[in-house]
Structure 1
């Protein structure tokens, strides 16, 4: 495997852009995938997991946190195995890989790390923005990166507010605690909406013309049981 000048023809220089590609994951075309040789795991963000419409029952529980370069730790929602396809026709390479599903904000949809790169027998160059891999037929094939997409992700990251995770938080909440927190938040939203509807109902005014008057020949209703006379206001007498 070797890179040539042909691999650099689609790249605008000078640049320091990462390799961002498009792959087919679980039969869905997913854009904004970062190829990160420094990551020991494949990361699938929760928003994309939900868009793939994969049932939560397929997630395996994970008891260890994911630690980023800042030292902050995040407990994954779970671990799932998904089919990934690179290329088309003669350049196709099918890989079954595991992904950690995390619920954190990010500019990428997926991060593929060394696990995927090794399974695809891949080698990538950020200078050429190209990844070489072995196809199903045993031939060396090329996966081109999208430089425009990579720069778009960078600009999106600059616009997002910085999210700080405490480094000293080594014991993040468990999955059961996070599920309970989500249920409590959902119930709080439902109660808030119900209170708003009730407030609107109580404050609703009914026009006089919509009221049904009592017929003149119908006797006035009388109270049942004992009655007691009460004085209203101050009696000057």
Structure 2
């Protein structure tokens, strides 16, 4: 108590398991740390060199992105190809799953319950 911790989950990205993935319903993009991308180490990933910069809310400062990349995200029994914008440093997180992923998964995050709910293919 109180339940105001960040919502951090463990998830599989391109076959590798990462335990510091932030769920952020206020983020307009899915973000991946450059270090995380190097740890995945898969030459077959679809990399798009062009990545338009993000701008922070409030100050409007420019956040440079290195590239965009499509990665398969596995949660429980679902696999979805998801586009990530790669950043130099997301410390202390491996990745941030934002509104695009939440919408794609039809997921509902709950900070109070410390979980993400989504429809599973298992019954």
Tell whether the structures are fold-level matches, with TM greater than 0.5.
yes
Query: Equivalent residue for 2:92?
Result: 107
Larger relative contact order (Cα-Cα within 8 Å, sequence gap ≥ 6): 2
Partner deviation per Cα, 1:173-221 (whole Å, 9 max, x = no partner)? xxxxxxxxxxxxxxxxxxxxxxxxxxxxxxxxxxxxxxxxxxxxxxxxx
1:62 to 35, 43, 50: 50
For 2:83, what is the secondary structure of its paired residue?
Answer: strand
CA distance in 2, matches of 1:113, 1:40: 6
CA distance in 1, matches of 2:51, 2:31: 16
CA distance in 1, matches of 2:45, 2:111: 37
Tell whether 2:57 aligns with 1:72: no
Query: Equivalent residue for 1:18?
Result: 6
Query: Equivalent residue for 1:97?
Result: 82
CA distance in 2, matches of 1:28, 1:60: 21
On the 8 A contact 2:32/2:90 being kept in 1, the answer is no
Tell whether 2:32 aligns with 1:47: no
| Cα offset, 1:71, TM superposition | 2.5
CA distance in 1, matches of 2:90, 2:112: 27
On the 8 A contact 1:93/1:134 being kept in 2, the answer is no
Aligned length: 122
Q: TM-score, normalised by structure 1?
A: 0.48
| Cα offset, 1:15, TM superposition | 3.0
| Cα offset, 1:103, TM superposition | 1.0
| Cα offset, 1:63, TM superposition | 4.6
Q: CA-atom RMSD, angstroms?
A: 1.9
CA distance in 2, matches of 1:84, 1:68: 26
Query: Equivalent residue for 2:19?
Result: 31
Between structures 1 and 2, the one with greater strand share: 2
CA distance in 2, matches of 1:118, 1:100: 17
Between structures 1 and 2, the one with greater helix share: 1
Query: Equivalent residue for 1:117?
Result: 102
For the pair shown, the structure with the greater C-alpha radius of gyration is: 1
2:114 to 115, 119, 129: 129
Partner deviation per Cα, 1:22-43 (whole Å, 9 max, x = no partner)? 0011011011000000011100
